Amino acid sequence: MYYSLPDEVYTHEAIIQLVNEGKEVFLPVVLDNFEMELHKFSRKDNMSEGAFNIMEPIGHKYTDFDSIDVAVIPAIAYDEKNNRLGRGKGYYDRFLAKIPLAYKIGICFDFQKITDIPADNNDVPVDEVI
């Protein structure tokens, strides 16, 4: 999952709900070399503010990428072919390349769905946009 910023589809309550349902939730932790890693979310008061004002879990780093069933991915926009436009630094493209097995769900507001986004070989499309 991602821990939403004010201009993104709100995910804070959904994350709590998933944990209450017994699911394991992992959130991005931004590193300074355009890479992200995943840390396990436990509770809201066990987070700290990281890069770009994003709240990040203070949990252990998680690297068993092939075990991830579903990934929920933010974007600036998605197009009709499920291509995504991110914030332009390639963090998600680099990370999504590591989880080819996960079912990727893009979520966005209606106005963020557009006809066509140019994509290159590094751009990873999602499986479904909600």
Ligand X SMILES: Nc1ncnc2c1ncn2[C@@H]1O[C@H](COP(=O)(O)OP(=O)(O)OP(=O)(O)O)[C@@H](O)[C@H]1O
Contacting residues toward ligand X, per CB under 6 A: 85-94, 97, 122-123
118/28 Cα distance (integer angstroms): 25
**If we measure between CA atoms, which residue out of 5, 27, 8 comes closest to residue 107?**
8
For the question of residue 84 being annotated catalytic, the response is yes
Answer for the pair 126, 102: CB distance below 8 angstroms, yes or no. no
74/114 Cα distance (integer angstroms): 15
Residue with Cβ nearer Mg ion (37 or 123): 123
For the question of residue 110 being annotated catalytic, the response is no
Residue with Cβ nearer ligand X (22 or 88): 88
Among 93, 98, 99, 125, binds Mg ion (CB under 5 A): 93
Stretch near Mg ion under the rule CB under 5 A, chosen from 21-29, 49-57, 68-76, 92-100:
92-100
For the question of residue 94 being annotated catalytic, the response is no
- Minimum gap (Å) between residue 29 Cβ and ligand X: 14
Place of tokens 């995943």: 38
* Residues in 7-36 that interact with Mg ion by CB under 5 A: none
- 118 makes contact, choosing from ligand X, Mg ion, none, with CB < 5 to 8 Å by partner type, with none
- Computed from CA positions of residues 89, 90, 94, 95, in that sequence, does the dihedral angle turn out positive or negative? positive
Q: Which two tokens stand for residue 111?
A: 């106005």
Position of minimal CB gap to ligand X: 86
Q: Could you tell me how far CA 10 lies from the centroid of its own chain?
A: 12
Residue with Cβ nearer ligand X (16 or 125): 125
Q: Could you tell me how far CA 127 lies from the centroid of its own chain?
A: 13
Binding site for Mg ion (CB under 5 A): 93, 123
